Structure 1
Amino acid sequence: MTGREIDLRHHGDAEIGDGLADFAVNVRTGMPPAWLADRIRASVADLAAYPDQRAARRAVARRHGRSVEEVLLTAGAAEAFVLLARVLEPERAVVVHPQFTEPEAALRAAGHDVERAVLGADFVLDPAAVPDGADLVVIGNPTNPTSVLHPAAAVAALARPGRTVVVDEAFMDCVPGEPESLAARLPAGVVVIRSLTKTWGLAGLRAGYVLAAPGLVARLAEAQPLWAVSTPALVAVEECSAPEAVAEAEKWAVELGTERDRLAAELTGRGLYVVPGARASFLCVRIPDALGIRALLRQRGYAVRRGDTFPGLGPDWLRIAVRDRTSNDALLEVMGELGI
């Protein structure tokens, strides 16, 4: 499936507005924590100097058991997708959908043709769905917007000589223990992209990184503007990669899982279809006339993410971020008043 008929540049931030409770953006609310905000504020004293990535790169390398040469720091995951689109020269690029649309948008903007491998109704990866001739494959894990976590073995099975497999793990720290992550394994030909945006509430800071073979990292670095990652972002990368921060994120992931499962059960109990086995910080929900429901919720002060801008979904899908229990219950109450 190909084409530009879907607005690939529509993201959750376009859904929010003044006075709306935000269930549209997949960024953890109430963040960053005080200790992290203090360190970021303190870094302002060093802004006269050019950013120095060395400490942050070492911290990421230690976090995932990689060498420093396998780490490229980026201004968020979005920059990583743009750099890959500029550096790689695929003859047959395939994006596995439904998933975050920015990788496909970046590839198209760089002049590449893109094919779409759309997963079946359960949205679980079948490596056979990817054409044998693909020399670039992009997949999310866990996947935005479906919240499906693919087995590491299935993702790794996509790798083969002459093919680059890009795995967007922006939501992997939502999964306690990260058992399906390829960051520490990094099979040959696999590129892993990570982000600090979601768990630490740093969308405005732009902090992420790429894990890849040293040769590809070097090529990406050549294409990257000088000093692309700011000093405050480098401080955040270093701090969030520390063992204490990883442990804190793990604790949150456990708590998130409990509340996510409760919210999913509540919605399912109302006769809605929630994509099963959700493992990220959001739920993908099928509901008749989802766009109409979205509009009604906006009138009542709640923003949710439309699903029809994700290839492989359509007008009967919504993505709903998981918030704290009180906020989730308030949304459920309004949905009940609307007969949902």
Structure 2
Amino acid sequence: MDSNALDAVERVRHGGTIDPHVVDFSTNTNPERPSGITPVYDAALAASRRYPPDDHGEFRAAAAEYVGCEPTQVIPTAGVVAGMRLAFSVVLDPGDSAIVPEPTAGEYAREIRLQGATPVGVAHDEVLEVDPESHDLVVVCNPNNPTGETVETDDLRSFAARCRDAGTTLFVDETFLGFTRRPSVAGEPGIVVVRSLTKMFGLPGLRAGYLVASGKTYDRLDVARVSWAVSTPAVDVGTYCLGREEFVERTRKRVEAERLRMADRLAERWTVYPSDAPFLLFDVGTDDPDDVLDMAREQRFALRDARKFTRLDNHLRVAVRRPRENERLLEALTL
């Protein structure tokens, strides 16, 4: 981390509400989680009187099986942002240049700046058109947040080959890819993939995730990672969740069906963008975004004010939750 950057970088504001009386459509976590977690957590808590194993072998194996890579390519992390910081600290030096899609999550630019590097914003659907030789890192969020669009796998692989030839690291955030049926690029040469258990398994407070890399990049990440950075409960519950194939498939089907239904209803009034993720971005047109947010809040629903994202000025984002909750929200929005 570049100490000179600390005085100029601010924290990123996120959505979410802690009000128990409000249904939170502003965050994209699964409102459901796999059954059977509690006894796994309780057993892990009892085992937490000891330091966790530093290799996390079972977790690595479960993560590798989930994305289709080798266990020796997995680096456990305390969530996506921790993985992001580790990766950026290894591949970036002060003065480096990094491509960041826009609009997208603000953490990428923040973590790049903390390394003393410069984030260069590019329209999210034009990132694969940049010349990687002019930059040291390229970030791809797939599906992108907040737009929800995915990159074609073949196009991403072709771009990865260009990055390898240029000696540029390609960092792919697959946080939401598990909601789709597209294959991961985890384990492919020259790519660092980051994954999370937060979104699919509805466990944002657990702080569990992982990086996938190969070759020298993996070796450097493994040396740089903090010892015992991931807790025993996070590792054990994460290992359990990664094996719940039926839960993942059931979640995909629910999200696919509800996303389509919600998009159709929202499109009766506003412009809705195509999405492969568990959320929808929409432009409220001639309506005032603040009025829509207030209208939802009065009915005890929280939406995400997407105007916080770069390049968006009239947009809101809504998560895809359970059918009954989704219907109540649509009715509250008079759709």
CA–CA distance in 2 between the matches of 1:155 and 1:8?
30
CA–CA distance in 2 between the matches of 1:266 and 1:130?
40
TM-align CA RMSD: 2.1
Moved over 4 A (4+): 5-8, 129-132
- Counterpart AA for 2:42: R
CA–CA distance in 1 between the matches of 2:277 and 2:122?
22
When normalised by structure 2's length, the TM-score is: 0.88
Gaps of at least 5 residues in structure 1 are none
CA deviation after TM superposition for structure 1 residue 61, in Å: 2.2
> Which residue, out of 284, 294, 298, partners 2:281?
284
- Structure 2 vs 1, CA of residues 180 and 274 (structure 1 numbering), >3 Å: closer, same or farther? farther
CA–CA distance in 2 between the matches of 1:48 and 1:165?
39
Does 1:326 pair with 2:324? yes
- Structure 2 vs 1, CA of residues 217 and 291 (structure 1 numbering), >3 Å: closer, same or farther? farther
CA–CA distance in 2 between the matches of 1:64 and 1:275?
27
- Counterpart of 1:210 in structure 2 is 211
Q: How does 1:7-46 map to 2 (within 5 A)?
A: 9-13=12-16, 15=17, 17-31=19-33, 33-46=34-47
Q: How does 1:1-340 map to 2 (within 5 A)?
A: 9-13=12-16, 15=17, 17-31=19-33, 33-52=34-53, 53-89=56-92, 91-119=96-124, 124-125=125-126, 127-129=128-130, 132-159=133-160, 160=163, 161=165, 162-175=167-180, 178-183=181-186, 186-242=187-243, 245-270=244-269, 272-276=270-274, 278-288=275-285, 289-314=288-313, 316-336=314-334
CA offsets per residue over residues 7-28 of structure 1, 9 Å max, x none?
A: 8712122x55342211011111
CA deviation after TM superposition for structure 1 residue 201, in Å: 1.1
CA contact (8 A) 1:173 1:250 kept: no
CA–CA distance in 2 between the matches of 1:325 and 1:61?
32
Gaps of at least 5 residues in structure 2 are 1-7
CA–CA distance in 2 between the matches of 1:37 and 1:249?
18
**Corresponding residue pairs, total:** 318
Aligned-partner SS, 1:250: helix
When normalised by structure 1's length, the TM-score is: 0.87
- Structure 2 vs 1, CA of residues 294 and 8 (structure 1 numbering), >3 Å: closer, same or farther? farther
CA–CA distance in 2 between the matches of 1:6 and 1:309?
16
CA deviation after TM superposition for structure 1 residue 6, in Å: 11
CA–CA distance in 2 between the matches of 1:215 and 1:241?
27
CA deviation after TM superposition for structure 1 residue 224, in Å: 2.4
CA deviation after TM superposition for structure 1 residue 76, in Å: 0.5
